[in-house]
Amino acid sequence: MSFLYSVRTAAVAAALVVAASAVPANASSISLPMAVSATVIAGCLMLPAPLSFGNYDPTATNATTASTPISLTCTPGTSAKVTLDAGLNAGGSTAFSSRSLKFLTSSLPYQIYTDNGHSTVWGDGVTGTTGAPTVTGTGLPSTLTAYGVIPAGSLVSPGVYLDTVAVTVTF
């Protein structure tokens, strides 16, 4: 039994030596900086609402008006320009004076302005229009308003008149 006891004692002693040598007697450490970075890009989120004139009476003596919000949220400090094209029925994306709503072969002229006084046509800011509002982002939503006008006296057939205008934000 003494031989077996000696083998066990030697095995335990060897295990203790191995375990003790795994932990340095004088622990030390190294600390190095790790670079962390991110690039924030300019960005905008836009949500235009439909512009609905509702019912139009061709015999009315006053123009029919409507307005709609265009919500724009851009990263802080980002300058964004909002433009509109002339619509699908204008005969070209820059034919702003020819904006019209269509029903079958009938056309109902209308216009979109940047102001409630209807003095500045909202377009691309270049082609015959001065209206291309610019917003500087804050990270919070901004609201631009589009003001629409159908002139009085447009004698057209009854029906649902439609057009589609592309709203573009450039930043």
Q: What is the pLDDT of residue 94?
A: 86
User: What domains are defined for the chain?
Assistant: 44-170 (2.60.40.1090)
pTM of the model: 0.78
Average pLDDT over residues 14-18: 47
91: β partners:
none
136: β partners:
79
Judged against a pLDDT cut of 70, whether residue 171 lies above it is answered with yes
Distance, in Å, from the CA atom of 65 to the CA atom of 160, rounded to the nearest integer, reads 17
Mean pLDDT of all residues in the chain?
88
Q: What is the pLDDT confidence band of residue 25, given thresholds at 50, 70 and 90?
A: low
Distances (CA, A) of 156 to 51, 58, 59, 99: 20, 7, 10, 15
More confident of the two residues 99 and 93: 99
Q: What is the pLDDT of residue 22?
A: 53
